[in-house]
Structures are given as C-alpha cells and as structure tokens.
Amino acid sequence: MLVPLKPILDATEKYNYAQGAFNVNAVSQAEAVIRIHEIFRSPAILQGADLANGFMGGCTDFMHATIEDKRKGAMNIASAVKKSAVSSPIPVALHLDHGRDFESVKAAIDGGYTSVMIDGSALPFKENVELTREVVKYAHERGVSVEGELGVLAGVEDHVFSASSTYTNPLDAIEFFKSTKVDALAISYGTKHGAAKGGNAKVRKEIAIAIKELMNFEGIEGALVSHGSSTVPKYIVDEINALGGDIRNANGIPLEQLVEVSKLGIRKINVDTDIRLAVTRNIREFFVNNPSAAADGDINGIWKIMQAHPEAFDPRVYLTPIMDSLMYGTIGNEGERRINDLIRAGVMEAVGTLVVEFSQVGKASLVEVKTLDEMAEYYRSRGI
C-alpha cells in the first residue's frame, strides 16, 4: 500500500528504531527495494532525488534537467512504485530527496509522490523557513508529508555540494520546527554526501540528542533525518576495483554509529551510494566473466561506457543505452533482462543488509496506515 511518510516515521518514534530510506533511479530498482522490504516484512521508504526525476524523465544530462523532465520523471517513478505497492502487504512511501525549489517539489507531488523534501539549507535561516513553510502548506493540503533541512553537509550529491559542514544548532532546529510545521528535519551532525566521506568520518551524536531532548521538552512532534549516511562497504569497493574499476578514497559512515543514533532520535537514514556500488559491481562482474556479452549489440554500449569511465559508479552514467527499460520497466531483449536482474540483485544486497541492521524487520504491522486524504484531514484539523 502506498502511504505518506509520516505514519511510517510515527512508528519509528513510538518503537524507537530508524528506517533506511533508499534512493532509486530505475523501475527495476524501485521494484527491488519494495521486494526486499516485503521479504523482511518491513515498511519501505523509496526516494527519488530531484535530479533523478529529471533522469527518469529521459534527460541523460540530468544535471541540467528541466522542470518538464522532472514532471515526466516523477510520474514515471510514481507509476512504477504504485504498481508494486498497490498489492503489497507492507506500507510504502515515495519521498522526494533534495527538492531544490517549489516547482520541483510541486512536480513531484503532482506526479504521485507521497512525501517531499525541500532543501533550503543553503539559504539564510529566515528564507529557508519561508520556502519550507510554503511547501508545507501546499503539501499538507494534499496529505503529503514534508521534510526540511537545517545545517549544511559536506560532500557531493547531484546538485548538492559543499566543501565543509555547518552543524545544526539545536535551538535553531526547534524554531524551525515551530515555524514551518515540517514532519521531519534533516540535520547536519557529521555525515557527508557521496562516497568519499573520509576515513575518520564520525557523527556527533550529541547534536541529535540535544535536538531530540528539546523537542520532547517543547512537545514538538517530528522526526530527525540523517542524510549522507551510506556505509560504502569496503568489500564492494574492493571487488569493483578488482574488476577494472578505479574508485579511490571511498569511505562511508561506520555502520555501528548509524545503529547507535537510530536509538537516539534519528528516525530516517538516507542511503544511495551503497546501492550504486552494489549495482556497479554486479554489472562489471557480468561483463568481465561473460566476454561474449560485451559483443551483444543491445547492451555493449553499457560496457563501453564503463570501460571509458572506470571511476564511475553511478548507474545513471553508464546505463543510458537502455533508457526505456530504466524509465518504464520495458524489457526489449534478453540482454536488457539480464542487466535488470543484476540491478535488482545489487539493490537487494545493499538494502537488505541495512533493513536488518536498522531493526526494521517485522515492523510493517506496527505502522498505523493512513491515506493521503486522511492525512490531509489530520493536518487541517490541527491547522498545519
């Protein structure tokens, strides 16, 4: 069942655990994320980044995606998620990651997303509040959950870049919740975007603890979110490099630190890079171990791009020869079927590990499911 994000986050608050939130850039990835959560009877949070919507709208140069690309892409990914979620026994939320402006957020909501993030973290505090509140009003009228961001994470993710971090001030976080009425807030507390987080990456759990304590004291209802939280498994990086890849300085957030903060108020943990790495390893391994596949006219373009860019681990870079398959889930030939099977396997490996580690197993039945209409009425009745 497709649901807003808030009911899933409410369960994490009530039962003191965190939900992994997993980014997808293809129909087969979305299907795999839902399937692995079904196996573990866990609620599922799928995320489509703002520029992932552009990519799913057919813009291979996704860094320059237009609003029309994003509208088309939002509908494509939402259609795929709805198709898998409609008969699923678990609650599934589709969340926009790093919406960069109001129009991008609106495109996601109108396309079928049940939750959105508006990232005003680069703006002055007052402007961030104003933009976020505008999004909250539009989204809550439609029952859609909203996440904001306060503080700046270092690293690179699509159009989001910063050379250094600015930690979230706990007092500012409380004012932000009160002023915007967001359902969730992404905070900066030591995590970083991208694969190169640094070998000494360490979360400052005291920031999350302080914000949560203040929220409890003020009676503020909401969830804290951890961005830039991929673990970047070393074994997968090593396997990619042994297969001809060239990924350097790859370090993630230590898993034990994420597990710890999941019990200290962090309720959603965003993961993207781990999935990219597992998919890349699988596809490299396939071509290396099956030389004849490299001559397959239907998929050899993928291998040519991977060979030309050994440093690339974002599937959006090298899977462009099969765009229709990524955008619509159509399988035109045996080669495309094999590639999509490898994508699914990589997603399930990366995601399944974290579903277990984050204690999500068996939590699906704990979510008090609400529809978009029911959530819209909830927000109306409380003036938010």
Catalytic sites, residue numbers: 97
Q: Strands of 230-286 (E only): list them.
A: 266-271
| Nearest partner of 317 among 309, 329, 325, judged by Cα | 309
Distance CA 301, CA 327 (A): 17
Q: Which two tokens stand for residue 105?
A: 């957020």
Q: What share of the chain is helix, strand, coil (3-state, %, to 5)?
A: 50, 15, 35
Calpha distance 187→266 (Å, rounded) = 9
Q: How many CA within 13 A on the CB side of residue 156?
A: 6
- The residue assigned the tokens 């071509």 is 287
CB 45 within 8 A of CB 22: yes
**Which residue has tokens 């359902």?**
183
Number of H helices, E strands in the chain: 16, 10
CA angle, 353 then 359 then 360, to 5°: 85
From 13, 131, 37, 137, select the one nearest 93 (Cα to Cα).
37
Euclidean distance between CA atoms 113 and 367, whole angstroms: 19
Distance CA 289, CA 342 (A): 13
The DSSP bridge partners found for residue 117 are 147
> Rounded to an integer, what distance in angstroms lies between the CA atom of residue 243 and that of residue 318?
16
Q: Which two tokens stand for residue 184?
A: 């969730």
